[in-house]
Structure 1
């Protein structure tokens, strides 16, 4: 029983750690996809949670039944033909682009706080990622089991401090905060779509390694709920700091400034660690895919991926999120519909 609980806990932390990356941990992702839509952003985040749970169950069932090894196998099964090939290419491109975003984010974080060159943060991220990736799926589960609980603790601390210092906050006040965009429903669908396809890159190899359906489903559900709570809290904090948050690449660091240097450093460290956990997850997903498609070793795949993402990261943190995420979100929505149709047909 104890082993089962630990396994479920590890799976849930892998779910959260994979999705919470440079964008969400910094507040930039939540700001662009939810906060700009005002009070309705909370409904959008709750809707994402439902999609996460439903799609995780579907992907786990399909993966176990057909003994899939990577997202390449899932895409070929669910979407054969040209559309599947396009989805596979775009998924690989997105995961590598997302890895580049995290590298850029690491550089931005170190530069914003320590005023060091951006390449210092990027080099640090790459070095530790290679060490963890060499341990395969074990490394992925180990780091998330430590990083994710730390993230939850720090975000909750920031949330409690905010409530303690600003006691006049209520629902009426939140509703009165101006919104900048209106189509919150479509934005939420796009956000849920690319997160699910991103997570499937880790979930599918995980089902092959663990092959315990109940534990996988339970872990994914708990991970979905944990991720939703984090997103709701971050969105709440960002809403209360409109319009100032739009001036910063890392809005959460700006919010933490008012509570002293100790909390600011904690936020800084935890954001960097979450960037790191998603970096590892993304490179692992593409590495497994390359291993299957090109018949090359997993370790060789990792180094090829790193050599590709370094130049992509130079485009810039915010620019990459605002362009890459919505484009991939549309593709992932089509894929989700195909997954649902395939699941109920079979």
Structure 2
């Protein structure tokens, strides 16, 4: 069970980043659909499960396709790093009143220090971060339910797909493609330390936890209209200073875990440590831009490219199977 928990934490830790922990990503991709959000969250969770299981077993035989895939992971890692560095700085400025430039640099220093200790250090910090997040969010949710501050999104839900469901499929598709590819380098790295069956079971459990966490956070956001204009709505959902402090501390740590996941993505795509460090420095400099603007523009862009990459890999797999049958 300890090994399973370590894998689950690593998978969740790579997905739970700035957008997730601050609520901005969930609000943008799901909360806008109000009581029908549960349909889109369900679809996204299922797609994340299927894509991760598919990527785990995939063997890319074509050198051209492999190079394209590595180039995407490289671009993906750079863009996500930029957003994460920006989020860390924005969080420090908004909640601690310190210049975001200082906190962006702090994110860089801490992440490099942790990553130098290898995969085990990444796994261990994820175990701590994911545990804190699940316990804190669950407690805030139950506390709000007890105080009758929560309006459940499924109170007015009709158990049938909304009429415009297929028009809005872009949102769950982008979300699942982006986050699955974000977790891929971590899952790929875990294959050297854990058995394949353990990783597959952990991916299934992780997908269930993602579904539960998305619904809990989404319900909190829908119930508190006053926080929806904030760049970090989830962190404004709790009035208690103590629990707000835990949420903010968790957000800092969760951003770090995603930065570490992207460092692993760079290692997958680049085999030269000096080039890796140069790319990280460029990402750091670009990360001084505004968090919300970066998240919404770059997230969707990478989601679209990610969908294309997944389709390309799927077609490549099908074609290679056809050749084998012949």
Does TM, scored on the shorter chain, surpass 0.5?
Answer: yes
1:262–1:52: structure 2 CA closer, same or farther, 3 Å change rule? same
How much does 1:85 deviate? Answer: 5.2
SS in 1 for 2:287: helix
Matches within 5 A, 1:317-336: 317-336=291-310
Matches within 5 A, 1:134-283: 134-166=116-148, 169-170=151-152, 183-207=167-191, 209-210=192-193, 212-242=195-225, 244-256=226-238, 258=239, 260-283=240-263
Matches within 5 A, 1:58-97: 58-62=54-58, 66=59, 74=60, 77=61, 80=64, 88-97=70-79
SS in 2 for 1:322: helix
Matches within 5 A, 1:30-49: 30-49=26-45
Instruction: Find the aligned partners of 2:252 and 2:131 in 1 and give their Cα distance.
Output: 14
Q: Which runs of 5+ in 1 are unaligned?
A: 67-73
How much does 1:211 deviate? Answer: 5.4
Instruction: Find the aligned partners of 2:305 and 2:248 in 1 and give their Cα distance.
Output: 33
Instruction: Find the aligned partners of 1:79 and 1:330 in 2 and give their Cα distance.
Output: 23
Instruction: Find the aligned partners of 1:14 and 1:150 in 2 and give their Cα distance.
Output: 14
Instruction: Find the aligned partners of 2:315 and 2:205 in 1 and give their Cα distance.
Output: 25
SS in 1 for 2:75: helix
Deviations 1:93-114 (A, max 9, x none): 2221111111111111111111
Instruction: Find the aligned partners of 1:172 and 1:133 in 2 and give their Cα distance.
Output: 42
1:172–1:326: structure 2 CA closer, same or farther, 3 Å change rule? closer
1:195–1:128: structure 2 CA closer, same or farther, 3 Å change rule? same
1:303 corresponding residue in structure 2: 277
CA contact (8 A) 1:283 1:305 kept: no
Deviations 1:268-288 (A, max 9, x none): 101111111111111221133
Q: Which has the higher helix share?
A: 1
How much does 1:313 deviate? Answer: 0.8
How much does 1:210 deviate? Answer: 2.5
Instruction: Find the aligned partners of 2:145 and 2:32 in 1 and give their Cα distance.
Output: 22
SS in 2 for 1:315: coil
Aligned pair count? 315
2:288 corresponding residue in structure 1: 314
CA contact (8 A) 1:45 1:232 kept: yes
How much does 1:310 deviate? Answer: 1.3
Deviations 1:16-75 (A, max 9, x none): 00001001110010111111122222111111111122122222222xxx4xxxxxxx5x
TM-score by length of 1: 0.84
Instruction: Find the aligned partners of 1:130 and 1:283 in 2 and give their Cα distance.
Output: 9
1:167–1:270: structure 2 CA closer, same or farther, 3 Å change rule? closer
Report runs of 4+ in structure 1 exceeding 6 Å deviation. none
Deviations 1:150-204 (A, max 9, x none): 110011011111111126734565659xxxx974322001110111111112212
Q: Which runs of 5+ in 2 are unaligned?
A: 159-163, 322-326
2:270 corresponding residue in structure 1: 290
Whether 2:2 is the aligned partner of 1:19: answer no
Instruction: Find the aligned partners of 1:168 and 1:217 in 2 and give their Cα distance.
Output: 35
1:170–1:14: structure 2 CA closer, same or farther, 3 Å change rule? closer
SS in 1 for 2:169: helix
Instruction: Find the aligned partners of 1:86 and 1:133 in 2 and give their Cα distance.
Output: 26
CA contact (8 A) 1:19 1:198 kept: yes
1:79–1:189: structure 2 CA closer, same or farther, 3 Å change rule? farther
Deviations 1:124-160 (A, max 9, x none): 2111111111122111111111111111001101111
